[in-house]
Structure 1
């Protein structure tokens, strides 16, 4: 899926690491996760002549492949197609397995009218205005992309990053396999000018760009009536239970299905004698993005439910037989108001807003840029109504002139048009089973949110003397060890966009240094001074690995490319190298803790589902004075784990406080309200803190086993 990169002439190709270095790094990363016997077996396997010879052969083929790729498609990378295939060959539902979400901060200039009903659109005023402002800003973003004026992504204002992913951000859709095809494919319509709006599972579309890729709606006010009219088209009439009229058909739930099931349904629609449904699908597939207007509100204390709605949708079945406004057993959750194969802007009744995105062609950094720019622009739009002296993050409309002598609004449709679906018994039963399956999936997961406000990156850097990201990664290890007494494979992505078409590399957070620090908290022997030193060593090692990965010199992507090359081209010629048959390969690729740092002040939260059945998905945002964390799992004590993350943050801070004051680490009384030590300074003790008991649920544990 290589594509043109607008600054490819400035960027180097993603390097292929030296094979021997990759194998050594692999052994180093897996060793902390194994016992001595397992590690001896793995080292013998990986360093065997058979494995090294086979891997060297594949490595040479990979170098040849990349060399030819550089000639045929200069704007590419050796991992690019393999990485696309990793997503597109995935056959399970994208819900909770692939699509992440970003929640934007609330707009302080828009009041919640969902209960008061004040404003020009009554209870819908806040939702309509928030949506219109964000969509107007998104259209400016698209204009910049299509006119080639989007400001380049840079690191520290000096190092340019690959911009290729922005071309796949809008007008793209994940299409299920067609007849005879093995995988899904990513379709991008670069000529798309319209959006899809969903409300109560109904679909509407209208054009938002003219033929020259300029926004038709230049102000939010121009968009508001379209959005309000769509809402009222559904609100003005009660739900009709007459099946012959097929009211409120939730066609979007098909995108929650297994890819093969969804493919069969699309094939059935394609061969239908009535082309109406197929035309509808093509309109949705080619849309710039989808706007999901949800008919629910979430209060500030309902953060977990809001996270669920933005990530996978809620599932609420009407089971009240006295409610005559809805058929008994109907799905009324937000999961039916989604189209998961595309980028979605989701806005609730009370103006909470978020982005859910299909992950194949774009990574979090790209969507974070979108979220940052549109949030900033939508907030600044209020200031522009007060004064003209307001900075603009986008180019002005005068920066790029329309093509002369071309009518900019030729053949555009600005009035919303509803997509009408034709259904039969097969489609109705398929919709029913798709809805019951996604409801089952949603019920298997739980979500927990933490807004830790005692300190943030400023404190981590000034007091702890650590990288904030590295520090938070150590906290995750402490919390997991406190709950389970062992270490598990942990994954964090490092961005490799300094290279052409760079995606990510895997940071492996469990190291010998991190284990020594974590164990020191549960051992009576180390002093606070020693614990601090171990923490800083663990963070330094994590930062070193992160930098290594960002330079494309990690081990995971290189090994994955070698495996894919063997599987796709050489499995009939070359035996499978022993490294890929060793248990360590499965171990390192079973990410029990899947983590990602995606921080910016414009975000309120960020998250995704766990990537293994027994795992946790951990999305976190580090701000100057706070840290926000969203944890998901399949009911694996999610709230308890998150509470231990919070307590681990506090305990490490206590260690630094005690050390700075020279307070005993064994007998210092603690103020239960503040969790701060209240004893007078004493000589630093080698014994552990009484505070640490709360990391183990209040049990007086003496020494936890620190051999894991």
Structure 2
């Protein structure tokens, strides 16, 4: 099959679609991150003491003594440690959080192992008995509607301010949960954050490895009804009875390998448009096929469900029915027993 058609993505457009939605803004709550206390820089002596305590379980007495001498030299007056500490203090004065970018880049974006298992979490909703496929889709539409309701509250600053005791906490992460996507790049990945000037109005539904763009906001500026969402889900299932090429499984690859494949896919204008739709959507809804014999025979169904949430079951399972770079993707299985997310 030609590469131009690998990422075929039909668009399910609701008739109530309109270009305007509520913009995410800060008002009286929550406070901007710049108004909150900045992350303090620990004094050099405290940092070195913590370092020495942390290595004690892993070294013998001789190695510990050598390390203590090196730490003492590093932290001496006029030494390298003191000079670096001054640079760190200066960085803290000029940034909201001196650690945030370093942590994001080093712990996540520069980490080259696959995001599946190594970094991406997954969780399982409480068990819910489902008696029919119609009820499955109805349940999925409820989850989507609830997520959109949360988005409206978030955009309207109706989410209660989180605090630690009397102190307000930074809530900027709430505005990055929906619509954010990790973009593969060699050496260091990038983050594609929501565009406040052109906010996303769609989700992406995945079934049989086929990706559907589903517009979920109406001409009144708010989300469409649960009934309309349900109708869109039914259309997606109806139009994707054949299994498409497993492009989604590329997102589970080593990051440099996926970066190269992403670059090749992006050379096609059609694929580029599809990638944009996936990367900018509010979240993904993954509608999986029937469970495998191993999944049905699993002694602990919640453990089995958690594994499918974490990695999708591999190339013989539903790992291609995913886009692991998205911050949020909800999985709906077809065993007529429960819904996971």
What is the deviation of 1:313? 1.3
Q: 1:347-386 CA distances to partner (integer Å, 9 max, x unpaired)?
A: 212353444xxxxxxxxxxxxxxxxxxxxxxxxxxxxxxx
Residue number in structure 1 paired with 2:12: none
- Could you tell me whether the CA contact under 8 Å between 1:31 and 1:39 is conserved in 2? yes
Instruction: Work out the CA distance in 2 between the residues paired with 1:250 and 1:146.
Output: 35
1:248 aligned to 2:244? Answer: yes
Instruction: Work out the CA distance in 2 between the residues paired with 1:282 and 1:270.
Output: 10
Residue number in structure 1 paired with 2:188: 183
Please give the secondary structure, in 2, of the residue aligned with 1:174.
Answer: strand
What RMSD over aligned residues (CA atoms) do the two structures have, in Å?
2.5
Residue from 74, 79, 84 that aligns with 1:58:
84
Query: Residues 563-578 of structure 1: matches in 2 within 5 Å?
Result: none
Change (3 A) 1:68 1:195: same
Unaligned 5+ runs, structure 1: 70-75, 114-122, 240-246, 316-330, 356-708
Residue number in structure 1 paired with 2:237: 231
Instruction: Work out the CA distance in 1 between the residues paired with 2:337 and 2:152.
Output: 25
Change (3 A) 1:84 1:210: farther
Instruction: Work out the CA distance in 1 between the residues paired with 2:220 and 2:111.
Output: 37
Instruction: Work out the CA distance in 1 between the residues paired with 2:109 and 2:244.
Output: 30
Residue number in structure 1 paired with 2:306: 307
- Could you tell me whether the CA contact under 8 Å between 1:45 and 1:51 is conserved in 2? no
Instruction: Work out the CA distance in 1 between the residues paired with 2:229 and 2:301.
Output: 29
Residue number in structure 2 paired with 1:336: 320
- Could you tell me whether the CA contact under 8 Å between 1:195 and 1:289 is conserved in 2? yes
What is the deviation of 1:78? 0.5
Residue number in structure 2 paired with 1:112: 130
- Could you tell me whether the CA contact under 8 Å between 1:196 and 1:291 is conserved in 2? yes
Residue from 275, 283, 291 that aligns with 2:285:
291
1:85 aligned to 2:105? Answer: yes
- Could you tell me whether the CA contact under 8 Å between 1:193 and 1:213 is conserved in 2? no
Query: Residues 684-695 of structure 1: matches in 2 within 5 Å?
Result: none
- Could you tell me whether the CA contact under 8 Å between 1:176 and 1:262 is conserved in 2? yes
Report the TM-score when normalising by structure 1.
0.40
Instruction: Work out the CA distance in 2 between the residues paired with 1:354 and 1:267.
Output: 32
Residue number in structure 1 paired with 2:8: none
Instruction: Work out the CA distance in 2 between the residues paired with 1:337 and 1:51.
Output: 56
Report the TM-score when normalising by structure 2.
0.80
Q: 1:491-522 CA distances to partner (integer Å, 9 max, x unpaired)?
A: xxxxxxxxxxxxxxxxxxxxxxxxxxxxxxxx
Change (3 A) 1:170 1:51: farther
Please give the secondary structure, in 1, of the residue aligned with 2:200.
Answer: coil
- Could you tell me whether the CA contact under 8 Å between 2:181 and 2:192 is conserved in 1? yes
Query: Residues 119-198 of structure 1: matches in 2 within 5 Å?
Result: 123-155=132-164, 158-177=166-185, 182-190=187-195, 191-198=199-206
Instruction: Work out the CA distance in 2 between the residues paired with 1:351 and 1:36.
Output: 57
What is the deviation of 1:213? 5.3
Residue number in structure 2 paired with 1:98: 119
Q: 1:474-501 CA distances to partner (integer Å, 9 max, x unpaired)?
A: xxxxxxxxxxxxxxxxxxxxxxxxxxxx
Please give the secondary structure, in 2, of the residue aligned with 1:15.
Answer: coil
- CA radius of gyration, larger in: 1
What is the deviation of 1:182? 4.4
Query: Residues 122-521 of structure 1: matches in 2 within 5 Å?
Result: 123-155=132-164, 158-177=166-185, 182-190=187-195, 191-210=199-218, 214-217=222-225, 220-235=226-241, 239=242, 248-272=244-268, 275-297=269-291, 301-315=300-314, 331-342=315-326, 343-349=328-334, 350=336, 352-355=338-341
Instruction: Work out the CA distance in 2 between the residues paired with 1:211 and 1:62.
Output: 50
Unaligned 5+ runs, structure 2: 1-24
Residue number in structure 2 paired with 1:447: none
Please give the secondary structure, in 2, of the residue aligned with 1:93.
Answer: coil
Change (3 A) 1:63 1:293: same
Q: 1:10-33 CA distances to partner (integer Å, 9 max, x unpaired)?
A: 621111111101111221222234
Instruction: Work out the CA distance in 1 between the residues paired with 2:221 and 2:316.
Output: 37
Residue number in structure 2 paired with 1:492: none
Instruction: Work out the CA distance in 1 between the residues paired with 2:174 and 2:190.
Output: 18
Query: Residues 578-597 of structure 1: matches in 2 within 5 Å?
Result: none
Number of corresponding residues: 302
